[in-house]
Amino acid sequence: MPPPAPPDDVPGTPFDSLHDADAPAASPDPAAEYVAMIKEVADKLLADRASPGDVKLLAHALRELRHCLRVFKDYRGVRKVTVFGSARTPADHPAHLAAVEFGRLVAAAGWMVITGAASGIMEAGHVGAGREKSFGLSIMLPFESSANAVIHGDRKLMNMRYFFTRKLMLIKESDAVVLFPGGFGTHDEAFEALTLIQTGKSHLFPIVMVDEPGGNYWTRWQAFVRDDLLARGYISPADLSLYRVTDDPAEAVREVTQFYRVYHSLRYVRGDLVLRLRRPLTEATLAAIRADFADLLAVGDFEPTAALPQEANEPTLAGLPRLRFRGVRNEQGRLRQLIDRINLDSGG
C-alpha cells in the first residue's frame, strides 16, 4: 500500500514545533540556510584534521537520519506511538499478548506503531497493528540478524547503525511512548523519554507503562521512583504526572488518545508558551485554569488567542485556537497537569 499523499504544506512533528523558534530570522528558505550550515561544518572537519573515524561517524549518522526523515515525511499527518519492551519475551507470554492487543486497539483508533523492529514486544506491537500501520527502526547488532517478520522488507523499515540516531527518531517522530516490561534497554528508553520531557528538550507526550494483566513489573518500578527518587528529593511530586502505569491495554490506548482530546501541540513564541487546541475552552475551564495553575505563570495571565504571526510556517495549524502564557520553564510536571485539565473540558 503506498503512503498517503502529503498535503502541500506538510506539518512538522510536535518535536519540530517546539524547536522551530530557532529557525534563521527572516530567511526566505530556512532549510537552505541549514543545508549551507551543514556544508560549512563539513568543510571545517578537513580544516580541523578530524580523524577518519570521527568523520565516518558523522557521515553515517547524517545519512541514516536523512533517510529516516524522508520515510517519515510521507506520514506526518498521522499520529504515531512508539512501543518499547523486551526482545526476549516469548509469543505466549502475557506481556506479549498484551502488546499485541495494544497494537490492535491503537491501530483501530487511527494511530501507527513504531518499534525497534526486533522480536518479542517489538514484534508483538507490529503483529497487533499490522504491516501497513507499522514502522521499524532496526539497530545493527551482532546477535540480531534481521527485523521481525511483520516489518521485514517493508519500506517503513529503517536500519540504523547507531543507538543515538535510532533513539532520536523513536522520540522525534512519536506522539506517545508506551513501555512493556523489558531489560536495560527498556529502562534506558523510559528514563530518557522522562528526562527529555522533564527538561523541556522534547515536546510533551503521554508515557504509559503497561504490565501484563495482574503483573507488578511497573508497579515495583513506580515504588522505586516514589520511595527513592521522590523521597530523596531527586524529582518533584508533579513529575509523577509525566507517566501512567496500567495493566490494561485498552486503558493504555485511552491514555494515549485522550491526551489529544482537546490539546493538540505546543510551541514557544518569543518566550511565551502557546498551546494549540482542537477547540476553544469554555469560560468555566478557563476560570478553573486561572485559579488552579497560577503557579505556572512567570508574569501575566492565561490568554486565549488565535494563531500568532510567528507560527506562519505551520499553515495547517492556523485555524486552531490557542492558549498563550508566559510560563516558568522548569515545571513540566505541572504543565502536564494543565494539559490533563484542558482535556477534561466539556465544551463542544
Average confidence (pLDDT) over 69-89? 96
Find the range with the poorest average confidence among 18-22, 180-184, 267-271, 313-317: 18-22
pLDDT tens for each residue of 196-220: 999 999 999 999 999 999 999 999 9
Contact in structure between 166 and 139 (CB atoms under 8 Å): yes
C-alpha cell read off for 13: 512533528
Contacts for 179 with CB less than 8 Å, ≥ 6 apart: 83, 84, 85, 186, 189, 190, 207, 208, 209, 210, 218
Structure confidence by residue, pLDDT tens digits, 242-273: 999 999 999 999 999 999 999 999 999 999 99
Class of the CATH-defined domain 80-258:
alpha beta
Residues 6+ apart with CB under 8 A from 83: 99, 102, 103, 113, 114, 115, 121, 122, 125, 178, 179, 180
238 — pLDDT class (breaks 50, 70, 90): very high
Answer whether residue 10 shows pLDDT above 60: no
Task: Name the residue ranges covered by the structural domains of the chain.
Answer: 30-73, 80-258, 263-343
Which residue's entry shows cell 580541523? Answer: 48
Collapsing DSSP to helix, strand or coil, 59 comes out as helix
What's the pLDDT score for residue 12? 64
**How far is residue 292's CA from residue 165's CA, in Å, rounded to a whole number?**
40
Q: What percent of the chain has pLDDT over 70?
A: 91
Query: Residue 319 corresponds to which amino acid?
Result: G
How far is 82 from 169, CA to CA, in rounded Å? 10
Q: How confident is the model at residue 346 (pLDDT cuts 50, 70, 90)?
A: confident
Q: How many CA atoms lie within 13 A of 51 on its CB side?
A: 3
- The helix (run of H) or strand (run of E) holding residue 296 is none
